[in-house]
């Protein structure tokens, strides 16, 4: 895990340095390019890489199953009662359990970077296009 964070930090340094200007298209001066979205992608990726599994573990969705006396066990109980006795496959509880059991930190990081890019495009670039 430490090596992944070091590589991510070095990638940020390289891409944010002045030598990365050659990758920026001259016609793309609106601040909505990939290089402008990079800080948002890094923050989102790191946040979910380290926060996603910890958040699910805190809620009780662990690799060994749903922890007793947790939010996850309460959700499982509520889901079973509302569906007539069993937890439905593909439901919220089943999806959270599979995420807690199988998804790696790199998958969380990838999802976080996609969310960061989407946030940049929708909120930052969307506001700029409305002002023009």
Cα 1 from chain centre? 16
In tens, the pLDDT along 55-78 reads 888 888 887 888 888 888 888 898
Element (H, E) at 66: strand 65-66
Cα distance between residue 112 and residue 132, in whole Å:
29
pTM of the prediction?
0.52
Task: Quick: pLDDT tens for 24-61.
Answer: 554 455 667 888 888 888 888 888 877 777 788 888 88
Distance in angstroms (rounded) separating the CA atoms of residues 52 and 74: 20
């Amino acid at each position: 895990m430490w090596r992944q964070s070091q590589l991510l930090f070095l990638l940020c340094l390289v891409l944010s340095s002045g030598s990365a200007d050659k990758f920026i298209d001259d016609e793309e001066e609106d601040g909505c390019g990939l290089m402008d979205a990079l800080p948002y992608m890094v923050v989102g990726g790191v946040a979910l890489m380290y926060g996603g599994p910890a958040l699910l573990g805190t809620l009780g969705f662990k690799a060994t199953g749903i922890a007793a006396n947790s939010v996850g066990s309460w959700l499982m109980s509520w889901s079973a009662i509302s569906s007539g006795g069993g937890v439905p496959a593909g439901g919220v509880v089943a999806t959270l359990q599979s995420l807690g059991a199988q998804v790696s930190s790199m998958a969380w990081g990838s999802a976080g970077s996609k969310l960061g890019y989407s946030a940049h495009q929708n909120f930052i670039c969307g506001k700029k296009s409305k002002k023009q």
